[in-house]
Amino acid sequence: MMLSICIFVVFNGLSLGVFGLDKYRSIRHQRRISESFLLTITFFGGTIGALLGMLIFRHKVAKLSFILKIILVILLQVMILYGLYRLGLFSVKNISILFRN
């Protein structure tokens, strides 16, 4: 349980940090972090961190194409979770096991 929470926190913290770093670099006209990397880290578990990074740092919020890509990533994540649920590999019972003491 603790490991899954740690992984969740690390991925979202990393995602938040990467969005903040990219905003910092954009302000200073330095080499930027690619959108594909931002989307990849979002897809592999950093969705909450990415959304927080967009809101906190006001980063990529005016770029409609990026917002559409983020929405696509979230929809893809939901479809994957639904597919796993339909296959019996993902359920509320499985989630509750992760958060037991």
Length of the chain: 101
Q: To the nearest whole number, what is the mean pLDDT of the chain?
A: 90
Q: What is the pLDDT of residues 24-60, one digit of tens each?
A: 999 999 999 999 999 999 999 999 999 999 999 999 9
| Three-class secondary structure assignment of the chain | CHHHHHHHHHHHHHHHHHHHHHHHHHHCCCCCCCHHHHHHHHHHHHHHHHHHHHHHCCCCCCCHHHHHHHHHHHHHHHHHHHHHHHCCCCCHHHHHHHCCC
Number of Cβ within 10 Å of residue 89's Cβ equals: 10
